[in-house]
Amino acid sequence: MAPVEIHRAEEVMPEEAHHEHDALVPTYVWDLVVRITHWAIVLSMILLAITGIYIGNPWGSSSSGPAGAHFVMGWVRVLHFYGAIVFALAVLSRITWAFIGPRRSGWRQFVPTSRRRLRDMISTFQFYSLIRTKPPACKGHNPLAGFFYMLVFGLYLVMIVTGLALYSVDSFSHMRWFQWLLPLFHGAQGARLIHHVTMWLLIGFVVQHVYSAMLTARVEKNGTMDSMFSGYKFLPKDLPDDDE
């Protein structure tokens, strides 16, 4: 029996050494500001999409009589406006944090500034295209995702600006000041069309974003999905910073 046990031990030791070499350690990646703004954007987008679709095409309302008696559209619009306030504050806070926050949350996560990030962008595209079996290891956003998030934030700003333009049409408060935006979109109807199309582009992005996050989490097994709650990913100990 002894020789057999020794033989088994000799077989296990290299495997254990391999796992020890590839050991993953909890690494703090997403700070509190990033996580709060992320979930504020997610929840407000859900509210804005539902209420926005209803405002554009009301459904299911069988109420009769004067509008003031039930005020369904009024309450939907109120929810839409308050959701828009949360959305705008979260987007602008995240953009500001990209310049004043820690380096791991900064603008370099979105703009590839190093040769390694540019090289990994191609490798990541090959992974999403099923050409590579694994994506390159990254602490924060992979370079391809970060680049597209920059474009998505551009769509966020389009939503905010067109929303302000539309709000100014019926406003009797200081929000009428934003009527100067209307000519930029050829009037309220042009702003409404851009607002509507951009909403569907963002809904498409959400579907792709969830799929990519689940795919990456399954392949890398590093807690990608959980990290937006805890702030921690499980990464190799000697993994360099993304922009090095």
pTM of the model: 0.81
Q: What is the average pLDDT score of the chain?
A: 83
Q: How far apart are CA 174 and CA 163, in angstroms?
A: 15
- Residue-range domains of the chain with CATH: 28-59+69-233 (1.20.950.20)
In this structure, the chain runs to a length of: 244
- Could you tell me whether strands 24-28 and 232-236 are parallel, antiparallel, or unpaired per DSSP bridges? antiparallel
Between 6 and 53, the more confident residue is 53
Percent of the chain at pLDDT > 70 equals 84
Please give the pLDDT value at position 243.
Answer: 59
DSSP summary character for residue 109 = G
pLDDT tens digit sequence for 104-144: 888 888 888 778 888 888 888 888 888 888 888 888 888 88
Q: How far apart are CA 219 and CA 237, in angstroms?
A: 18
Kindly indicate the confidence band of residue 42, based on its pLDDT and cuts at 50, 70 and 90. very high
User: How many C-beta neighbours within 10 Å does residue 99 have?
Assistant: 9
Please give the pLDDT value at position 17.
Answer: 37
Between 242 and 174, the more confident residue is 174
pLDDT tens digit sequence for 215-241: 888 887 888 888 899 999 888 887 766
Cα separation values, 43 from 39, 77, 81, Å: 6, 17, 14
Kindly indicate the confidence band of residue 188, based on its pLDDT and cuts at 50, 70 and 90. very high
Please give the pLDDT value at position 149.
Answer: 92
Q: How far apart are CA 60 and CA 23, in angstroms?
A: 55
For residue 195 the two structure tokens come to 């607002």
- The DSSP result for 125-179, as a single string, is HHHHTTSSSSPPP-SSS-HHHHHHHHHHHHHHHHHHHHHHHHHHHS--SGGGGGG
Among candidate residues 33, 34, 41, the one with its CA nearest the CA of residue 83: 41
